[in-house]
Each structure stands twice: as C-alpha cells, then as structure tokens.
Structure 1
Amino acid sequence: MWSKAVIASFNAIPQNACDSDYFGPYNKLLHTLFPPDSDFAVGPVFFRDSRQAPVTAVFEIYLVDKPVLILELRVPSYLDLPSTRQVVDEEIRSRMNGMVSACPLETLHAISALGTKLCFYSLNTRNRSAQIVPAAIPRHPTEMNDTAPADHWNYDILEPAGEERLRLIVKQIMDGCAALNV
C-alpha cells in the first residue's frame, strides 16, 4: 500500500486540476519506487505540444544514464475524447521508439497517466520487429475509429490493482537492472 504521504499528495490535487497539479504526486511516488540514493534517476522532462495541450510532463527513469521507464502525464479529461487519447497514445509510442535502442533491459516499459488512470506499454528491446504492447490500432481510411480506446487506461494508481501492476513492473525493472551489475 502507498505511504500516507503519497496518498495525501494525490488527495490534495484540486478538482479542476491541470497537468502540473499531478506533477508533485507522481514525482513523490516515483521517488518512493526509485529512491534518490539508488543508481536510478527520476528525470522530469517538459515539452511544448503544438497539437493539443500547451505542456506535456514526462518522467524518464534512468539506470545511471540508460532509460528504463517512461511515464507521460496528462489531466483526466484526456480520457473523454478519442482525439486526445490518440494524441497521448501516439506521443508515448514515439517516445518509446526513440528510446528503445538505449534501454539496457529486455523490455522498455512506459506508462500513460491520465490523472490517476494508467495505460501500461511495453516493448521488447531485443527484437527489432517487436511491436509495442498494446498493439497500435490503425486509423481507418474512410471511417472514424477509436485508435486509443478509453478502456486501455484500465488501472487506477490509487486502487490496489493499479498499485500492484506498477510495483510488478518496477520489480521487473529492478531485477533486470541488478542482473546488469551496473
């Protein structure tokens, strides 16, 4: 179970929050999972996004200088529209494709967080023809289709199943990194 400090941090988020209101709670949570006195670094990265939202907050977790986890953060309202879900889905896939060759582990993990709702992504780094899971849904050429269904964000970080899933991924990352003898 998350510490009282982590839960309090999430509970302090205002009703009509912006992306930056989630930054502190996720920063606290990630530093709980990847302590500052370890070989891991939790690095915040901010991007201006000309398509939909003015700022994208991303946390990149590194083992020394090699990426092992990506968490992209947006407000919960991104769940409401297929177009905004599509934007975040495409962004995280692009970020994973850009970082996969630098990841020292067999799997590069990524998380799209829309408020407290999470979609987990993974990519086998050893297989050049591997595809990101969940599989991308191509746009239909003549009909509207949902390329990033809302049910992909089916875990909540504040619920036991969401916490368990995140902790399992972190354990896989920690075990994989320990085997590297860095």
Structure 2
Amino acid sequence: MPFETDTHWPTRLVKLFKICRGQGGKGGMLESRYNGPVNAMLTYCLQVGLGEEFDYVIGPQVPADPDHPHSAIDFVVSAVIHDQFKPVLLIEIKDDTWATSATQRYHADAQMRQRFHAMLNACPLPDLHGLSLLGTSLRVYRGTVATYSVDPMLEECPSTEEVPPSNFLEGAWDRDLLSPGGLKEMQRIVSYIVTEVAKLS
C-alpha cells in the first residue's frame, strides 16, 4: 500500500521500533538507537530515491555551530530546490524516559525552539514542521516563516530557577508515532511538504 493511503504503518517498520525500544540502556544505547527506524520511516514516507527523482535528502545531522557543539539536529529533511538543499522538516529524538521527566520535557521543548530559531529563515515553504520524539511519543511543532512564530506557543517555566513543576508540559507528547493517529499526522505533514515543494519546482 502506498504511504498516502495507508491506514497503519508497515508491520516490519513497527517491528524495527519495537526492537530498538527493547534495547534501551544496553551497551550505552539511548535515543540514538531510534535513528535507524526514524530514517527508515522518513524514507518510506517520502519515497526517497524511488523512481527517477531524488527530490528529498534525509540528513542525520547538520554541521554543528563551533560555538555550540550540541547544536546539531538529529534529522533534517531537505528538498532539492533550484540546485540547493532547503530544510522542510526537522526531527529531534530523545529517549523514552524524557516523557516522564518535567525537566527533560522542558529541555526537549527548548531545544526544538532553538532549532526553529536557527533554521526557520532557510525554509522555502510557508511553514516548517518539526517532530519532537521522546521514544515514539510525538509532539508536532510548526514554524511560520512570515511571522517567525512557532506553534504551539511557548509555555514559560513557572519557576524562576527553571526547575519546572512535575506536571510541566505533561501530556504535550500525547500522540504515539506508531498509532493510527501518528500515521495520519505524518500523512498530513508529508502531503503539505510535497504539495508546497511542487509549487517551487
């Protein structure tokens, strides 16, 4: 079944995620264990390299800012537009345990917003989407290029010492990427990207 009309993720793709989840903490593997399955998922969604066209490139990282060594992005999907790579989707991946920690959720949200700050101006589309994954728990971000704004809006940490209460951003990563709802969200985002990129060709 083609991705656009799927009602569920391919069984073997789901199995990749489950295998990696089962390897949590073993041999020093943390969130990086999900890079392979996420790459496979993105390739499936965008059909990268299939047919005669190579319209999209999935990069495991972008070069880090020398002054900020942790500024590399886990995955950037770039569209090839007028012989240039232009970012159209950002993905950050963290370990499953981040979903249960208010401090980690706070940092995951802040990191996504930093990514948008660094890359929104380079996006050729009206909106730049970002996926924050805590394991397979998904939160979708959308940056609007014209207004340089990011949705959902920033929720300020109520503590002046940036130590959030235990319920801070609780439920913000409320969708499982591997669920039918997660699939529909990916279908919506990919459809938007493909449609908008086609207008620029």
TM-score scaled by structure 2?
Answer: 0.78
Q: Which runs of 4+ in 1 moved over 4 A?
A: 54-57, 141-148
Count of matched residue positions in the alignment of Structure 1 and Structure 2: 174
The structure-2 alpha-carbon separation of the partners of 1:55 and 1:94, relative to structure 1 and needing over 3 Å to count, comes to: closer
Please state if 1:158 is matched with 2:174: no
Which residue of the partner structure matches residue 10 of structure 1? 17
Paired amino acid for 1:60:
V
SS at match of 2:125: coil
Residue equivalent to 2:4: none
Q: Which digits, 9 at most, give the CA deviation of each residue in 1:18-51, with x for residues without a partner? A: 2122111111001111233231001001899xxx
Counterpart code for 1:63: A
RMSD: 2.4
C-alpha distance 135-55 of structure 1, shift in aligned 2 (>3 A):
closer
C-alpha contact (below 8 Å) 2:73/2:90 kept by paired residues:
no
Equivalent residue, structure 2, for 1:176: 196
* Cα offsets for 1:123-158 (capped at 9, x unmatched): 111224xx2111101123558645951311011011
What is the CA deviation profile of residues 61-103 of structure 1, one whole-angstrom value per residue up to 9, with x for unaligned ones? Answer: 0002000000100111001111111111111100111101100
The answer (yes or no) to whether the contact 1:57–1:74 under 8 Å persists in 2 is: no
Cα pair 1:89 1:148 within 8 Å, conserved: no
Unpaired stretches in structure 2, ≥5 consecutive residues: 1-7, 25-29, 65-69
Q: Is 1:120 matched up with 2:127?
A: no
CA contact (8 A) 1:23 1:57 kept: no
1:56-75 alignment runs, 5 A limit? 58-64=74-80, 65-75=85-95
Call closer, same or farther: CA 1:80–1:46 in 2, change over 3 Å: farther
Helix, strand or coil at the partner of 1:2? coil
2:31 maps to 1:19: yes
Structure of higher CA gyration radius: 2
Q: 1:172 to 1:55 in 2, by over 3 A?
A: closer
TM-score of the aligned structures, taking structure 1 as reference length:
0.86
| Aligned equivalents of 2:183, 2:12: Cα separation in 1 | 15
Q: With CA pairs under 8 Å and 6+ residues apart, which has the higher RCO, 1 or 2?
A: 2
**Counterpart of 2:61?**
45
Equivalent AA in structure 1 for residue 98 of structure 2:
Y
Q: 1:92 to 1:141 in 2, by over 3 A?
A: same
Tell me whether 1:33 sits opposite 2:51 in the alignment: no
SS across alignment from 2:140: strand
User: Structure 1 residues 45 and 142 mapped into 2: Cα distance closer, same or farther (>3 Å)?
Assistant: closer
